[in-house]
Structure formats: C-alpha cells, structure tokens
Amino acid sequence: MSPYEIIATKRDGAELAPEAIGWFIDAFMKDEVRDYQMTAWLMAAYIRGLSDAETVALTQAYINSGKTVDLSSIPGIKVDKHSTGGVGDKVSIILAPLVASLGIPVPMISGRGLGHTGGTLDKLESIPGFQTQLDVPQFQELVSRHGLALIGQTAELVPADRRIYALRDVTATVDSIPLICASIMSKKIAEGIDALVLDVKYGNGAFIPPPEKAEVLARKMIQIGRASGKQVVALLTSMEQPLGRAVGNWLEIEECIDCFHGKGPNDLMEVTLALAAEMVVLAGKAGSAQAARDLCQQALSSGKAWDKFLEIVAAQGGDTEFLEHPRRYPRARFRAELKAGESGYVAAFQTREVGMASVELGAGRLRAEDPVDPQAGIRLHRKLGELVEKGQVVAELYTNRKETLPGALKRLEKAIHIDARPPKIPPLVLKRLA
Ligand code: URA
C-alpha cells in the first residue's frame, strides 16, 4: 500500500478497504506517512465523505493506535456522557458527580476548549490545584475508589486522534461528520465504558449547525458505538444560544455551584437532567426517564451530588475552599458592560461569535498550545426571549487583558440581536435517538 494510492482513491471518491485505512493510520503514527500526506487525505475525506464501513475502520484504527482502559473489575455499568461541543456547556461538571452519587460509575475523559467552544478540562482547572493530566492507572484508581474520574486525554489513549485533530484544526477539516464521529467514538470506546449518552448539539453555536446534519452525526455515532458493543443514546440539544448565563472557565464553575444548590439557570438544569436521566436508565438504576429524573432531583436536593463533587475535586487535588466560598476567588482585573442600544426582546444570538468574544477575552484558545485565563469570560444578563430596556446591561465582560475589551465588546454587540417582537425559542431538547 502507498500513501499516494490511498490519497488518490479518496480524492476520486472511491471507497477504501478497512485494511488500507488501518495501514494508513498506523504508518502515520510510525512517521512513515507525513503530515502533508495525512492532511491531503483528510481534505479528500472531508470533501468526498467516508462510508459507514470506512468510518468504522477509521475509528478502530484510532483505537489501535494506543492502549484501551479495562474497567471490568469495577462492578456496575460504567456510563459516560459526551457533548459535541458548545458555548457555556458546563453540563459534565454537574452531571458526572450527580450520576456518580447514585452509585453509577462515571469514567469521564474530557477535552479542552478549541475554537469557539469551551472545554470541561479548562473549566475544572480553574479550581486551584485540580489535576486533570492523570495516567490510566490513576484513572482506574479514581473510578474504583470514588465511582468517578474527571480527567483529560492521556498520552496512551488514542494518540492518533490527538495528532490528527491538531492537523484538522489548522486545515479546515474539523466539521466533517465522519471525522468527528471517529474522533469522538474512538476516545469513548477506548476509555472502558459500557454505555454512552451523547449530547449532539445543533444550532448556530454547534460544530454541525443544521439539525438534520446533527441527526446524521448522532445516528452514525450510535451505530459505531453499537458495533463495539456499547449501548448508546443521543439527545439533540440546542446551541442557538449559550447554555446557562456564564461563558468562561471559573464563571462557569460558579454557575455549576449554583446548580448544585438549586439556583441554576433553567435551560442548563433541563439539559443536565435530561442527559443524566438517560445515563441512569442505561445503568439500570431506573425503569423510566421520569423515575431516573426523580432520582437525580433527589440527589441534588439532598446534597448528595454536591458532596460527590467536593469529594472528587479533593481527590484530584483541587482546593474545595473556593467551591464552598466562591466569592473568595480572585476576580479578573478588568470588566466592561454591554448595554442595550434599543429596547426590545433578545431575539437571536450568534452563539459562535459569543464563544469567540470569550476567546478574545482570554477564556479560550485558538491553538491547542495557547494558555487560558481562568477568570476571563462573559456573564449574560439576558437570554433569548427576555426583555431589555435601552441602556440596561445585556452582558458583562471580564478579562485580565484590558486591550481585548473593545474588540470583544464589538463582537458581542453584533452577536446579540434585539427586536421589538418576541422570538420563537428553539426546542432545548429537539430529539432523542437510540
Ligand atoms: N470533538 C472531538 O473530540 N473531535 C472532533 O472531531 C470534534 C469535536
């Protein structure tokens, strides 16, 4: 097999044999296929697409590039949740301890923010001391002892995805359904789970905005999970506006604290409970989504979920003092307000642009190696359908880099539309797929 033939076959729209894909990824990991050859192939795959068989082969080749975790010695059905990425999406931080507090093992390996989206790891690392870069034995130990682990991708698991994602990120080949599918599912299958709940975002802040396409992505991921013997359920949820009111790392942790104490924003709680209930049903702890939701509500109101969160933060080296007393957390040095230029309803968000404004303030990264500022971000005072008077604050911006404020303010102003008529609010949970 030669890289040239493999690239040319995909360029011409023909289907590659699974062995050819397996060989290509393996040769890339041995540096026998060069970055420029891989990026040419990725672009061909992006334009021509991959068949289901090719997507399964790519997923398997990614998995074969590293180790897989064995959690079989830990009793119970191990369930994880994965989101395709959004703005203000802090669901994992509430949901994982909540589900684990019901005695369901949650081995969660999350990602960092990239582009306009935030990442669970960056949010967790805004808690001083919190360690996310743990190895596989430490991951297994946490799940065994605490029924929960919240870690980052390890060097041993699916190394091909890390290298290839970095290439996709700079060659405009991220938003391809089969490439996203293989990237996400390989990592989930390698982490040793039995079941998975997918939060597939649709809307203008999602990687794949059209709902019909998001559904295709969800169905493909379900099919790949099934082919590997995993139970998979997907919810299509809205990214037509940021989830909750906080965008940015510590600001989002503060919002999670509110959620644990029953004071979280409705949309965030709704998506969290819908996904958590699916996990509880998959784990066999409830016979229906409603019974599972009731269990989740009880775990929140009794404080069990909060206690589990404090337990895992302490176990991963985090300082729980700031969680107990969030006002003691140091604030960003600079702040600005976006005020409404006219009275009316908040009628639409360009959610991707809200994410980019937050990146500009320092909360996210444009390249994988960029540092993030834990204190930077945006607090939305108004969400879709809410009324605002001319001159009232629509959003607050926080940063430690004063020079970013004018640009971020301008971007945010353009991203939030006010209209005299109330908008039609898109469904938060559009569809359930299984
Ligand atoms: N998240 C991933 O892990 N991979 C993708 O390709 C896109 C989003």
Task: List residues near ligand 1 (CB under 6 A).
Answer: 84-85, 111, 174, 179-180, 183-184, 207
Using DSSP's 3-state secondary structure scheme, residue 153 falls into coil
Residue nearest to atom 3 of ligand 1 (CA): 184
What's the structural domain count of the chain?
Answer: 3
Question: Of residues 81, 168, 201, 220, which has the active-site annotation?
Answer: 168
Question: Of residues 10, 78, 81, 82, which has the active-site annotation?
Answer: 82
φ and ψ at residue 261, rounded to 5 degrees? -95, 15
pLDDT at position 152 is 92
Write out the DSSP string of 355-400: HHHHHHHTSS-SSTT----TT-EEEES--TT-EE-TTSEEEEEEES
Q: Is 381 noted as a catalytic residue in this protein? A: no
pLDDT at position 169 is 81
Atom of ligand 1 nearest to the CA of 117: 8
CATH number at residue 372: 3.90.1170.30
Residue 94 pLDDT greater than 90, yes or no: yes
Round the average pLDDT of the chain to a whole number and report it.
Answer: 96
Q: Is 168 noted as a catalytic residue in this protein? A: yes
Same domain (yes/no): 289, 352: no
pLDDT band for position 330 (50/70/90)?
A: very high
Would 147 be classed as within a structural domain?
yes
pLDDT band for position 214 (50/70/90)?
A: very high
| Contact assessment for residue 425 and residue 268, using Cβ atoms and an 8 Å cutoff | no
Residues of the domain holding 348: 332-419
Would 58 be classed as within a structural domain?
no
Question: Of residues 161, 194, 258, 267, which has the active-site annotation?
Answer: 161
Same domain (yes/no): 172, 308: yes
pLDDT at position 166 is 86
- pLDDT, tens digit, 9 for 90 and up, residues 1-45: 899 999 999 999 999 999 999 999 999 999 999 999 999 999 999
Ligand 1 centre distance from Cα of residue 179 (Å): 8
Rounded Cα distance between 281 and 235, Å, is 14
Between strands 79-83 and 195-202, the pairing is parallel
Q: Which of 29-33, 47-51, 362-366, 399-403 has the lowest mean pLDDT?
A: 362-366
CATH number at residue 8: 1.20.970.10
Q: Is 424 noted as a catalytic residue in this protein? A: no
Residue nearest to atom 2 of ligand 1 (CA): 184
Would 70 be classed as within a structural domain?
no
Atom of ligand 1 nearest to the CA of 179: 6
Q: At what angle do helices 91-100 and 266-282 cross, to 10 degrees?
A: 40
pLDDT band for position 104 (50/70/90)?
A: very high
pLDDT band for position 155 (50/70/90)?
A: confident
Last residue of a domain, one of 324, 356, 371: 324
DSSP 201: E
Rounded Cα distance between 395 and 416, Å, is 10
